[in-house]
A and B are shown apart, each in its own frame.
Chain A
Amino acid sequence: MIFYPLGKYILLLKAVFRKPEKWSLYRKEIFHEMNYMGVGSLGIICIISIFLGAVTTVQTAFQLVSDLVPKSVIGGIVRDSSILELSPTISAIVLAGKIGSSVASQIGTMRVTEQIDALEIMGINSPGYLILPKIIGAITMIPLLVIISIALSIVGGYLAGTASGAVTPQSFIEGLTSDFIPFTFTVSMVKSVIFAFIITSVAAYQGFYTHGGALEVGQSSTKAVVISCIMILFADYIVAQLLL
């Protein structure tokens, strides 16, 4: 039952990575997607990241009741949870909704209006032309968005912590700068590349194999979001298990 779609998915990916007919046209598409996905998602990522950090600070401070634990721990906790989990995973879930649904509905519409057939007839490898630029766009831009998200999350944490008086600026900075394990950042980047791949490839798969009309395009895009969210969390667990 799961093997049939899985096989189809793998075959589609195989077609996606065929040699492009003409790099110059692909390059144009890649830049277009990078702009759309990267710049287009900047706003929402900034907003959620600031709140992520703020909430983490406030809640950590709430749980830190013991006087034996220094308040500077809050800085470290905000930093590590942003890098390791919150920024890559929450951003990916939000982007699955934003990018995933638009990729699925765009490709799905092209399918039901025979635009994909038109590409095929011209002798163009349609999975490659339509999907490869999106995958490349996502796996280059989403890690960048995650880096921005990490930075803003820490800023959000700092602001919320100092504004509410839960932690002094000095001890937040102290916690932030001590005991940093650079490897956590690597894990974060690995996660975001994998999530980016999941978001675009799952959405493209759903769109590419849409049958029917407008109704089915809507269903494909819903399915794309649901499936990629589940896959993201699953991959999150696997990466954490393997790398940490």
Chain B
Amino acid sequence: MIEIKNIRKSFGHRTVLKGISAEFKDGITNLVIGGSGSGKTTLLKCMVGLHEPNSGSVFYDERNFTSMNFEARTHVRTEIGMLFQGSALFDSMNVEENIMFPLNMFTELSFKEKRDRVNFCLERVNLAGNNQLLVSELSGGMKKRVGIARAIAMNPKYLFCDEPNSGLDPKTAIVIDELIQEITEEYRTTTIVVTHDMNSVMGIGENIIFLHQGTKWWEGSNKEITTTDNKELNEFVFASKFMKKLQK
């Protein structure tokens, strides 16, 4: 479980997060939704310590991450898997080396065990057999999936995904959503997914946080989201004509 308390973050004069508190339970997929530029990525980065929040704190299973020193954070970080919005694959390495990298760094497994783990992860993201491709040879969607494979390589306790299915076709997007859901339930990870894909919201949104203007505007589940009378949230959810029709 991850708990955040009153996270504030500004860049220069611009305040992006204005005091956000939330609880993310393990074993369910927690979604963070919101318009472009609403601070979703910033919130995620504050949680994992890539941005230092101006105030507030983050707790990983009761451990106060914000007040930890470098060594203690390193320990927590080996339990974190993260998919970046731009995939952030190491472009000097091929697919296999990318996924194997955390295993090389932090485990004492034999090469064969590591190779098996890589193949297992690649299979889960439907990329089996693509071990030797270079990062520059991957399509945008493939990069995303390799990014996910790398994020789950170490069997993380905490999984952060920044827009895991943007740029994917609807079918693969659902496969990825289901994969994230499966991993979350199977290993009881605490999973936080940033998205603005309404299919994901309806599909896997057991706990949804809607960010608007730097605050937590709404919180609930995918069952409640269609019936809420929150104006901004409705505008967000029913932005497309298709969804509007559905609403009626």
| A interface residues, Cβ below 8 angstroms from B | 21-22, 25, 109-110, 113-115, 117-118, 120-125
Nearest CB to that of B83 among chain A residues? A118
Q: What are 29 A-to-B residue pairs whose CB atoms are below 8 Å?
A: A21-B105, A21-B106, A22-B106, A113-B86, A113-B88, A113-B91, A114-B84, A114-B85, A114-B88, A115-B89, A117-B45, A117-B50, A117-B84, A118-B84, A118-B88, A118-B89, A120-B49, A120-B50, A121-B50, A121-B82, A122-B78, A122-B105, A122-B106, A122-B154, A123-B77, A123-B78, A123-B80, A124-B105, A125-B74
Nearest CB to that of B80 among chain A residues? A121
Chain B stretch 75-97: residues in CB contact (< 8 A) with chain A: 75-78, 80, 82, 84-86, 88-91
Complex partner residue of A117 from B70, B88, B154, CB under 8 angstroms: B88
| B interface residues, Cβ below 8 angstroms from A | 45, 48-50, 70, 73-78, 80, 82, 84-86, 88-91, 101-102, 104-106, 154
B194 vs chain A, min Cβ distance (A) = 14
A30 vs chain B, min Cβ distance (A) = 15
Q: Are B90 and A115 in contact, CB atoms less than 8 angstroms apart?
A: yes
- Shortest beta-carbon contacts, A-B, top 10: A123-B77, A114-B88, A118-B88, A123-B74, A123-B78, A121-B82, A122-B102, A114-B84, A117-B50, A115-B88
Known interface pairs A113-B91, A115-B90; A25-B104 also in contact (CB < 8 Å): yes
Please, how many angstroms separate the alpha-carbon atoms of A115 and B45 in the complex? Answer: 14
Please, how many angstroms separate the alpha-carbon atoms of A48 and B74 in the complex? Answer: 46
Please, how many angstroms separate the alpha-carbon atoms of A122 and B50 in the complex? Answer: 11
Q: Are A123 and B75 in contact, CB atoms less than 8 angstroms apart?
A: yes
Please, how many angstroms separate the alpha-carbon atoms of A110 and B104 in the complex? Answer: 20
Known interface pairs A25-B105, A124-B105; A114-B77 also in contact (CB < 8 Å): no
Complex partner residue of A121 from B77, B85, B90, B106, CB under 8 angstroms: B77
Q: Are A122 and B88 in contact, CB atoms less than 8 angstroms apart?
A: no
Known interface pairs A121-B50, A123-B77; A114-B86 also in contact (CB < 8 Å): yes
B85 vs chain A, min Cβ distance (A) = 8
Using Cβ atoms and an 8 Å threshold, which residues of chain B touch A120?
49-50, 77
Please, how many angstroms separate the alpha-carbon atoms of A23 and B231 in the complex? Answer: 56
Nearest CB to that of A22 among chain B residues? B105
Q: Are A118 and B90 in contact, CB atoms less than 8 angstroms apart?
A: yes
Please, how many angstroms separate the alpha-carbon atoms of A60 and B187 in the complex? Answer: 77
A34 vs chain B, min Cβ distance (A) = 16
B52 vs chain A, min Cβ distance (A) = 12
A26 vs chain B, min Cβ distance (A) = 10
Q: Are A115 and B91 in contact, CB atoms less than 8 angstroms apart?
A: yes
Using Cβ atoms and an 8 Å threshold, which residues of chain B touch A114?
84-86, 88
Complex partner residue of B48 from A21, A22, A121, CB under 8 angstroms: A121
Please, how many angstroms separate the alpha-carbon atoms of A18 and B84 in the complex? Answer: 26
Q: A113-B88, A115-B89, A123-B73 are in contact. List 18 more A-B contacts (CB 8 A).
A: A21-B105, A21-B106, A109-B91, A110-B90, A113-B91, A114-B84, A115-B91, A117-B84, A117-B88, A118-B88, A118-B89, A120-B50, A121-B80, A122-B102, A122-B105, A122-B154, A123-B74, A123-B106
A42 vs chain B, min Cβ distance (A) = 22
Using Cβ atoms and an 8 Å threshold, which residues of chain A touch B50?
117, 120-121
Q: Are A118 and B91 in contact, CB atoms less than 8 angstroms apart?
A: no
Highest count of chain B CB atoms <10 Å: which of A21, A110, A113, A118: A118
Using Cβ atoms and an 8 Å threshold, which residues of chain B touch A25?
104-105
Using Cβ atoms and an 8 Å threshold, which residues of chain A touch B102?
122
Using Cβ atoms and an 8 Å threshold, which residues of chain A touch B85?
114
